[in-house]
């Protein structure tokens, strides 16, 4: 719908005052947006540093885990070999004791 009286929008305030208010409002918004951008940049830098530190920590933990898994595998293998040797020694002892 078309307004019946398009000039009724004017409030009687001078256009210069309205323009100055608009400029002041725009300046305030720009200032607030710049402040928000700076704050977000700081937060982003902190987050990026934390990601980097956690990535280094993860790599170190992965290396430590690989070492622990290798140690576990080595000890399991040695344990199996030692158990086999124990069983053979026990069998030999039983055989020798039965020869009496």
HSE toward the beta carbon, residue 51, CA cutoff 13 A: 6
pLDDT tens for the chain, 100 residues long, are: 555 555 555 555 566 689 999 999 999 999 999 999 999 999 999 999 999 999 999 999 999 999 999 999 999 999 999 999 999 999 999 999 998 7
Rounded Cα distance, 37 and 1, in Å: 41
Work out the angle at residue 28's Cα, subtended by the Cα atoms of residues 23 and 30, and round it to the nearest 5 degrees.
95
Q: Where are the domains of the chain?
A: 16-98
pTM greater than the 0.85 cutoff: no
């Amino acid at each position: 719908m078309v307004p019946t009286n398009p000039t009724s929008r004017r409030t009687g305030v001078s256009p210069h005052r309205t323009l100055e208010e608009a400029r002041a409002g725009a300046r305030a918004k720009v200032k607030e947006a710049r402040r928000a951008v700076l704050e977000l940049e700081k937060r982003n830098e902190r987050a990026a540093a934390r990601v980097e530190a956690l990535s280094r920590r993860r790599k170190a933990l992965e290396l430590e885990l690989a070492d622990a898994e290798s140690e576990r595998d080595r000890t399991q293998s040695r344990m199996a070999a030692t158990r086999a040797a124990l069983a053979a020694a026990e069998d030999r002892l039983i055989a020798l004791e039965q020869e009496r």
